[in-house]
Amino acid sequence: MSSSGILYFVVFCLALLAATRPLGAYMANVYEGKRTFLYPVLGWLERLVYRLAAVRQDTEQRWTQYAASILAFSLVSFLFVYLLQRLQAWLPLNPMRFGTAHAPANATQVTPPLAFNTAISFMTNTNWQNYGGEQTLGYFVQMAALTVQNFVSAAAGIAVAIAMIRGFARKQVNTIGNFWVDLTRGTVYIMLPLSLIFALFLCWQGVPQTLRPDVHATTLEGRAQIIAVGPVASQEAIKMDGTNGGGFFNANSAHPFENPTPLSNFAELFSILVLSAALCYTFGRMVGDTRQGWALLAAMAILMAVFFFVGYAAEQRGNPNLARLGIATRHSALQPGGNMEGKEVRFGIAASALWAGATTDASNGSVNSMLDSYTPLGGLVPLFNMQTDEVVFGGVGSGLYGILIYAILGVFIAGLMVGRTPEYLGKKIEKKEVKMAMIAVLVTAVIILVFPALSLELPFHAHGYWNPPGPITANFNNAGPHGFSELLYLFTSQSENNGSAFAGINGNTPWLNFAGGLCMLIGRFLFIIPALAIAGSLAAKKRVPATSGTLPTHGGLFVGLLIGTIVIVAALTFFPADSLGPIVEHFLMRQGRLF
Amino acid sequence: MWRQIIPAFRITLVFTLLTGLIYPPLVTGLCQLFFPYQANGSLIRVHGRVVGSALIGQRFTQPGYFHPRPSAAGNGYDAAASGGSNLGPTSRNLVLRVKAAVARFRNHNPDDHGAIPADLLTASGSGLDPDISLASAYAEAPRVAKARGIALARLRQFIHAHAALPWGGFLGEPRVNVLLLNLALDAAYPVKVSR
Structural domain tally of chain B? 1
Give per-residue pLDDT as tens, B96-155. 999 999 999 999 999 888 899 999 999 999 999 999 999 999 999 999 999 999 999 999
| Nearest C-alpha neighbor of A399 from the set A409, A389, A407 | A389
* Interface with B, mutate which of A83, A232, A325, A345 (most B CBs under 10 A): A345
Confirm whether B32 is domain-assigned: no
CB atoms within 10 A of CB A552: 12
The pLDDT value recorded for residue A547 is 86
Answer whether A594 sits within 8 Å of B92, measured CB to CB: yes
Compute φ and ψ for A360, nearest 5 degrees: -105, -15
Helix (H, G, I), strand (E, B) or coil at A424: strand
Number of cross-chain residue pairs from A and B with Cβ atoms under 8 Å apart: 432
* Interface with A, mutate which of B21, B43, B122, B159 (most A CBs under 10 A): B122
| Nearest C-alpha neighbor of A112 from the set A81, A86, A146 | A86
The pLDDT value recorded for residue B114 is 87
Element spanning B131, H or E: strand B131-133
In contact, A481 and A578? CB cutoff 8 Å: no
Answer whether B8 sits within 8 Å of A333, measured CB to CB: no
Contact with chain A for residue B29, Cβ under 8 A: no
Answer whether A250 sits within 8 Å of B81, measured CB to CB: yes
The pLDDT value recorded for residue B195 is 44
CA pair distance B54, B46, nearest whole angstrom:
12
Give per-residue pLDDT as tens, A569-588. 999 999 999 999 999 999 99
Answer whether B115 sits within 8 Å of A326, measured CB to CB: yes
Element spanning A84, H or E: helix A63-86
- Beta strands B175-177 and A224-227 are unpaired
Which of A69, A192, A340 comes nearest B119 by C-beta?
Answer: A340
Residue B164: domain span: 41-188
Answer whether A233 sits within 8 Å of B87, measured CB to CB: no
Which of A152, A205, A212 comes nearest B15 by C-beta?
Answer: A152
Can you give the residue ranges of every domain in chain A? 3-590
Q: How far is A411 from chain B (nearest CA, A)?
A: 33
Answer whether A322 sits within 8 Å of B39, measured CB to CB: no
CA pair distance A501, A491, nearest whole angstrom:
9
Which of A75, A195, A344 comes nearest B125 by C-beta?
Answer: A344
| Nearest C-alpha neighbor of A581 from the set A473, A448, A484 | A484
Contact with chain A for residue B100, Cβ under 8 A: no
CA pair distance A163, A172, nearest whole angstrom:
15
DSSP annotation of A347: T
| Nearest C-alpha neighbor of A478 from the set A569, A573, A565, A588 | A588
What is the mean pLDDT, run by run of 10 residues, along chain A of 595 residues?
A: 94 97 97 95 96 93 97 97 96 92 91 97 96 92 96 97 96 96 97 97 98 95 96 96 93 97 97 96 96 97 97 96 91 94 97 97 95 97 96 94 96 90 93 96 96 96 96 97 98 96 96 97 97 97 89 93 96 96 97 95
Helix (H, G, I), strand (E, B) or coil at B167: strand
Confirm whether B167 is domain-assigned: yes
Q: How far is A110 from chain B (nearest CA, A)?
A: 17
Put residue B76 in one of left, alpha, beta given phi > 0 → left and psi -120 to 50 → alpha.
left
CA pair distance A177, A61, nearest whole angstrom:
6
Contact with chain A for residue B86, Cβ under 8 A: yes
CA pair distance A110, A473, nearest whole angstrom:
24
Q: How far is A539 from chain B (nearest CA, A)?
A: 22
In contact, A230 and B138? CB cutoff 8 Å: no
* Distance, CA of B148 to chain centre: 23
Q: Which residues pair with B52 in a beta bridge?
A: B44
Higher pLDDT, B2 or A444: A444
Rounded-to-5 percentages of helix, strand, coil across chain A: 65, 5, 35
Which residues of chain A lie closer than 8 angstroms to B80, CB-CB? 104, 106, 134-135, 214, 226-228
CA pair distance A400, A536, nearest whole angstrom:
17
CB atoms within 10 A of CB A575: 12
Which residues of chain B lie closer than 8 angstroms to A319, CB-CB? 89
Contact with chain A for residue B51, Cβ under 8 A: yes
In contact, A31 and A501? CB cutoff 8 Å: no
CA pair distance A335, B115, nearest whole angstrom:
12
Residue B192 has pLDDT above 70, yes or no: no
Answer whether B195 sits within 8 Å of A221, measured CB to CB: yes
Helix (H, G, I), strand (E, B) or coil at B80: coil
CA pair distance B112, B109, nearest whole angstrom:
6
The pLDDT value recorded for residue A213 is 92
Q: DSSP secondary structure string, A436-486? A: HHHHHHHHHHHHHHHHHHHHHHS---TT-SS-TTSSGGGG-SS-THHHHHH
Q: How far is A419 from chain B (nearest CA, A)?
A: 40
Answer whether B87 sits within 8 Å of A372, measured CB to CB: yes
Helix (H, G, I), strand (E, B) or coil at B43: strand
Answer whether A210 sits within 8 Å of B179, measured CB to CB: no
Give the percent of chain A with pLDDT over 70. 100
Helix (H, G, I), strand (E, B) or coil at B117: strand
Contact with chain A for residue B36, Cβ under 8 A: no
* Distance, CA of A231 to chain centre: 22
